[in-house]
């Protein structure tokens, strides 16, 4: 599958940055996820568009800093952990292997990192990739926290 990832860059001198613009709202992505707040200069986030034949088929929001130690049985990833904070495949393009391919491209792009994701109701997707599911270390808290999925060691 021929997908291209394009990282979005903050325009020089722009303090409050919206990586995705309001003009693009209503075009097949969840507007609440992509237009809700500006990104400040000290942010550890990265944003990518995923294109197929020049058409945007997915979006990714990564976070360079993520805490996972409050979950049970997690490996000591430290700063190697890279969070997929959000991945969304365009509504019209789901179920065709794009999500799986995007994760594989992220793995190739950041070979020294271990990808992690807090599942937003997509446990089946992360499990299908062979990622391990972790719950909060305190069983009484587990139902209030999203399950954490960790990419297997390469
Ligand atoms: C979850 C999402 C990224 C998956 O992308 P996709 O391109 O539709 O998924 P793929 O076609 O690559 O599917 C890969 C596997 O995941 C499974 N899968 C995909 N979405 C799933 C879901 N929501 N629940 C359960 N399984 C799912 C597929 O059945 C497939 O399994 P298989 O390889 O055993 O056949 C996409 O459906 C999406 O954008 N959903 C809305 C946003 C979202 O939930 N993002 C995740 C936030 S943590």
Domains defined along the chain, listed by start = 4-150 (3.40.630.30)
User: How many angstroms separate the CA atoms of 120 and 123, rounded?
Assistant: 8
pLDDT tens-digit profile of 46-65? 999 999 999 999 999 999 99
pLDDT at res. 27: 84
* Distance from the alpha carbon of residue 29 to the mean position of ligand 1, in angstroms: 14
pLDDT tens-digit profile of 141-152? 999 999 999 999
* Distance from the alpha carbon of residue 57 to the mean position of ligand 1, in angstroms: 13
Nearest atom, ligand 1, residue 96 CA: 11
pLDDT at res. 36: 76
**Average pLDDT of the chain, as a whole number:** 94
Distance (Å) of CA 35 to CA 24, 30, 43, 55: 9, 9, 16, 20
For a mutational test of ligand 1's pocket, the pick from 50, 57, 125, 146, i.e. the residue with the most ligand atoms closer than 8 A to its C-beta, is 125
* Distance from the alpha carbon of residue 63 to the mean position of ligand 1, in angstroms: 20
Q: State if pTM tops 0.85.
A: yes
* Distance from the alpha carbon of residue 101 to the mean position of ligand 1, in angstroms: 11
- Residue 24 scores a pLDDT above 90: no
Mean pLDDT of 21-41: 86
**Residue 99 pLDDT class (50, 70, 90 cuts):** very high
């Amino acid at each position: 599958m021929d997908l291209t990832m394009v990282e979005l860059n903050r325009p020089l001198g722009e303090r409050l940055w919206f990586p995705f613009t309001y003009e693009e709202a209503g075009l097949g992505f969840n507007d609440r996820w992509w237009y809700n707040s500006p990104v400040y200069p000290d942010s550890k986030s990265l944003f990518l568009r995923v294109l197929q034949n020049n058409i945007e088929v997915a979006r990714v929001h990564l976070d360079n800093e993520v805490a996972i130690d409050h979950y049970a049985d997690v490996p000591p990833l430290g700063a190697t952990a890279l969070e997929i904070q959000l991945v969304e495949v365009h509504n019209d393009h789901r179920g065709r292997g794009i999500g799986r391919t995007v994760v594989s491209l992220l793995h190739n792009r950041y070979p020294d990192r271990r990808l992690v994701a807090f599942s937003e109701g997509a446990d089946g997707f992360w499990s299908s990739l062979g990622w391990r599911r972790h719950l909060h270390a305190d069983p009484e808290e587990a139902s209030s926290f999203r399950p954490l999925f960790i990419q297997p060691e390469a």
